[in-house]
Amino acid sequence: MLTPALRERLLANGRLSGFDHLPVVKFFNPVGIGTWLATELAEDGDRLFGLAQLNDAPELGSFSLQELTTLDLPFGMHIERDVFFAGTFPISAYAEAARQTGSITAAIRILSNAARARREEGI
C-alpha cells in the first residue's frame, strides 16, 4: 500500500511529531464508507497518525497500517491508496473542514478547490 518514498516521508514526519504536517497519503474503501488521511508513521512501521472517518464523525488519531492492508471487503476488494491524492494544507485544515462538512471527502474537495484558486491567483 505504501511505496518506499511514501513510507520514508511518513516516517520522517513521525520523527518530527508535534508539527501540523500535510497529509502524505489517502486510503479509501472502494465499496463503502471509510477514508483515512495519514501524516505520520511510527517507527514500529504500523501505527499511522492522521484523520479517519469510519462513520459519521471524522476523527484525528492513530490507526493501524496492518489492519488497513488486511481488511477483507466484499467482492474480494481491499482498502486502496488514492494515487492521485496530494495534501495541499496541514492536517488541521482537513480536520476542521471535515468537522464542518461531516465528511473527509467533502473536505478534500473544498480544500482542493481552494488550492486551485490560490494557484490561479498566483498566491
For residue 53, pLDDT beyond 90: yes
Please, what is the end-to-end C-alpha distance for the chain in angstroms? 33
The pTM of this model reads: 0.94
Neighbours of 109 (CB within 10 A): 13
pLDDT (mean) for 83-112? 97
Sketch the domain layout of the chain as residue ranges.
4-120
Per-residue confidence (pLDDT) for residue 17, from 0 to 100: 74
Per-residue pLDDT band at 43 (split at 50, 70, 90)? very high
pLDDT (mean) for 55-80? 95
Per-residue confidence (pLDDT) for residue 49, from 0 to 100: 98
pLDDT (mean) for 102-115? 96
- The answer to whether the CB of 22 falls within 8 A of the CB of 12 is no
Q: Which residue's C-alpha cell is 464508507? A: 33
